[in-house]
Amino acid sequence: MRAYVIRRLLLLIPTLLGITMVVFLAIQSIPGDPIEAYLGQFYEEELAASLRKQYGLDKPIYVQYVLWLGRLARGDWGKEVLSGLPVLDQIRERLPVSLELIFGAMIVALLVAIPAGITSAVRPYTASDYTATTGAMVGISVPEFFGGILLVLLFSLGLGILPVQGFKPWSQGAGDHLAHMVLPVLTLGLTRGALLTRMVRGCMLEVVGQDYVKTARAKGASEFLVISKHALKNAMIPVITVLGLQVGFLVGGSIVVETIFSVPGLGQYGINAISSRDYPAVMGFILVSSLTFVMANLMVDLAYAFLDPRIRYED
Amino acid sequence: MKIEPGRQSAQDYASGGGNGYAATGVREPALPRAATPADEEMPFETMLAMIWRNLCRSKTAVFGFIIVTAIVFVALTADIIAPYSYENPAGGSLLPPSLKFPFGTDPLGRDILTRVIYGTRVALYVGLGSITLAVLLGIPLGVCSGYYGGWVDLVVMRVMDLILAFPIFLLAIVIMIILGPSTANVVLALAIVRIPIFARVIRGSVLTVKELDFVSGARSVSATDFRLLFLHILPNCLAPIIVTATVSTAFAILVEANLSFLGLGTQPPTPSWGFDLKQNMTSLSERPFIVIAPGLAIMFTVLGFNLFGDGLRDALDPRTRS
């Protein structure tokens, strides 16, 4: 187990190098020369050359990459073009909001998927199963932004019990904060929950048919105990893998959801930066979003090894 | 040993290709012998008919197929069935639904129904275009990776892993930043993010198929690598490709809507459901209905491809065949 954890952590190094390389090349390949953009249309070639030298832009691209990595590691992520504020500080302020949204959505997804999937699998091809599978299929097909708008129409404009959009920090009262977070979390969580429901149902169906479940039933264990204690544990293993993959969609979905509900998270920051062509900020956004995904996958892999004693990873 | 037809003795059977039944004079059971060649020599049309029959057995798959057909029909006949122009105002701004404008008009006074009808074109263009491109690029990568193995496999699969190390939607955004927003670039971006999926699926199938006896057989009569790959191995990997492609089309349509919603995809005045929804959302509190039509259009299109893909998976899966 320890060897596996260490190996998995070592595997982070090439992944992180790969990601930074892609982000670096992506920013490099955006059309336009930064020095020309800075100096305007008319400039002296000598001044441009000295500026290039000053910023290290005259060096070969791999040297530039290594220099850039060094700056990243020292916490120098550049400054926003418009405000001049350090990008890293801005991201540090917004990341917790996005993580709260993503984490909340994950819990909503599990709270929906596990009961719905189990009900479906325990009584397959009945009315409750068809309701759950149809609901899941429709849920997968609804884009987050449309789902969000429907929730706004129902809860905000229709029933008038929740705010349409906006954000209140924790410091202004927990109730107000949570009221503003309910719809974004639900929007993101329900769409993901739909896919997980299908997954839980599929895995559960497979496990319920296995011999050890029959044995548990034959021993006279109650149906509740058989499902919750014997079947669920094994069914959850593939579900957790899918949950890990879902984190990627949660990160992506949070960008859209934050835009709809004006939640000042990382996604909204990124989209604003893209529309104002603030490339240091764009870079920070891409880098931190990908890192969130990589770290979440790492946690899922570790949880996986912990949950399933059959997996010992000793090859 | 030279054997003349019709003069095989019991001894020949026993020493050579006999299977025990002939030697004892018992007729060979018809079933196991007849089944294998019939399965291999089944004509293409019969196979299609069988898949079609399996597909029709599921109501949801038929429902999906009907939706997909309807969307294709609407896209092809948009110029005829759309009542107004998608570019120019047809009436006042934000009119409520009426006989003249079944879904009302958008903030710029354009008929929402017309925009939704033309939106099928962008959706299908992106969905089918990007997946075709991804399949065309993913197949050679996956085939070479699986067939040759070694360093080819290592390099190709590590690059694919790198692409998969990013959340798909985020990567699509990054590519759109580099390429600039346009529908054609969405097609390219979605193809790129989808290549690893196809390369992996095909690599997996090739790894299995290349170990089968008929491939060794073809190799033993010195078939070229090219012939082996494209005539013997690839046709046997088609089922997972078709299923993945159908489900990926649904996904691509969904992502295009999302990108356009964020302003990174299709640009106005070209009608895209995602962009229209974003633009109509600004008037949500006055006219809640104006977001419903484009939203439902996305939902049903994606649902159609998802259901159809699910049905195809069951129809093509040999385990569920009767």
Question: Tell me: the pLDDT tens digits for B306-318?
Answer: 999 888 888 876 5
Q: Taking CB atoms and an 8 Å limit, are B284 and A157 in contact across chains? A: yes
Give the mean model confidence (pLDDT) for residues B9-13. Answer: 35
Q: Is the pLDDT of residue B35 over 60?
A: no
B236 CB burial (10 A radius; 0-12, 13-18, 19+): middle
CB atoms within 10 A of CB B72: 14
**To the nearest whole percent, how much of chain B has pLDDT over 90?**
28
Distance from CA of A282 to the nearest CA of B (A): 9
Q: Is B261 on the interface with A (CB under 8 A)?
A: yes
Least confident of A289-303, B216-230, B266-280: B216-230
Which residues of chain B make contact with A289, given a CB cutoff of 8 A?
A: 167, 170
Set out the domains of chain B in order of their start, with CATH numbers.
Answer: 59-317 (1.10.3720.10)
- B263 closest CB neighbour out of A247, A255, A275: A275
Interchain contact, A19 vs B166, CB within 8 Å: yes
SS (H, E, C) A199-250: HHHHHHHHHHCCHHHHHHHHCCCCHHHHHHHHHHHHHHHHHHHHHHHHHHHH
DSSP B36-55: HHHHHT--HHHHHHHHHHHH
- Residues of A within 8 A of B298 (CB-CB) are 141-143, 146
Window from A217-231, A253-267, B164-178, B179-193 with minimum mean pLDDT = A217-231
Interface test with A, best of B60, B247, B262 (most A CBs within 10 A): B262
- Establish how many alpha carbons lie within 13 A of residue A308's alpha carbon, considering only the half-sphere containing its beta carbon: 18
| B278–A256 C-beta distance less than 8 A | no
**Inter-chain touch A143–B250, beta carbons under 8 Å:** no
Choose the most confident range, by mean pLDDT, from B14-28, B143-157, B293-307: B293-307
Host H or E run for residue A2: helix A2-28
State the best of A24, A146, A152, A298 to mutate against chain B, taking most chain B CBs within 10 Å: A146
Contacts of A157 in chain B (CB under 8 A): 284-285, 288
> Which tens digit of pLDDT belongs to each residue from A95-140?
999 999 999 999 999 999 988 988 888 888 888 888 888 889 888 8
Report CB contact under 8 Å: A137, B277. no
Closest Cα to residue B317, out of B41, B40, B50? Answer: B50
Q: Among all residues of chain A, which has the CA nearest to that of B304?
A: A141
Contact check, Cβ <8 Å, B299/A142: yes
Give yes or no for A12 touching B (CB within 8 A).
no
Name the A residues in 179-238 with CB < 8 Å from any B CB.
none
Residues from chain A contacting residue B263 (CB–CB below 8 Å): 275
State mean pLDDT over A259-284: 88
**Quick one: pLDDT at residue B18?**
33
Both tokens assigned to B126:
């992106």
Our CA-based measurement puts residue A143 at a distance from the nearest CA of chain B, in whole angstroms, of 6
Cβ–Cβ under 8 Å, residues B115 and B86: yes
Q: What is the pLDDT of residue B135?
A: 93
* Peptide bond preceding B269 in cis form (omega within 30 of 0): yes
Query: What DSSP string runs through A82-110?
Result: TT--BHHHHHHHHHHHHHHHHHHHHHHHH
Indicate yes or no: CB of A145 within 8 angstroms of CB of B277.
yes
Contact criterion met (CB < 8 Å) for A143 and B170: no
Predicted pLDDT of residue B319: 56
Q: Mean pLDDT lowest for which of A11-15, B19-23, B250-254, B302-306?
A: B19-23
Residue indicated by tokens 């929730």: A151
Report the residue of chain B nearest A249, measured CA to CA: B167
A289 touches chain B (CB under 8 A): yes
Which amino acid makes up residue B308?
A: F
Position B41 scores a pLDDT of 55
| Domain A87-307: CATH superfamily, name plus number | MetI-like (1.10.3720.10)
Residue B4: pLDDT above 70? no
Q: What's the pLDDT score for residue B42?
A: 63
Whether the CB of B156 is below 8 Å from some CB of chain A: the reply is no
Q: By the CB < 8 Å criterion, does B154 face chain A? A: no
Q: What rounded mean pLDDT belongs to chain A?
A: 84
Q: ipTM score here?
A: 0.85
CA of A258: which chain B residue's CA is closest?
Answer: B262
Q: For residue B259, give how far its alpha carbon lies from the nearest alpha carbon of chain A (Å).
A: 9
| DSSP 3-state percent helix, strand, coil across chain B (nearest 5) | 70, 0, 30
pLDDT at B43 over 60: yes
Lowest mean pLDDT of A145-154, A257-266, B28-37, B239-248, name the range: B28-37
- The residue of chain B nearest to residue A244, with distances taken between CA atoms, is B167
For an interface test with A, give the residue of B159, B290, B292, B299 to mutate (most A CBs within 10 A): B299
For the residues A250-269, what does the mean pLDDT come to?
A: 90
Over residues B146-158, the pLDDT tens digits come to 888 889 898 998 8
* Cα B233–chain centre separation: 19
Give the A:B interface size as CB pairs under 8 Å: 120
Do B64 and B303 meet the contact criterion of CB atoms below 8 Å apart? Answer: yes
- B26 pLDDT higher than 90: no
Rounded average pLDDT over A261-287:
89
Q: Which residue of B has its CA nearest to A28?
A: B178
Contact flag B254-A294 (C-beta cutoff 8 Å): no
Q: Give the Cβ contact number of residue B151 at 10 Å.
A: 8
Residue-range domain boundaries for chain A:
2-73, 87-307
pLDDT band at B32 (very low <50, low <70, confident <90, very high): very low
What is the predicted pLDDT for the residue at B53?
82
Instruction: Report which of A42, A100, A81, A146 is spatially closest to residue A263, judged by C-alpha positions.
Output: A100
Higher pLDDT, B134 or A214: B134
Pick the residue of A11, A25, A141 with the most B CBs within 10 A to test the interface with B by mutation. A141
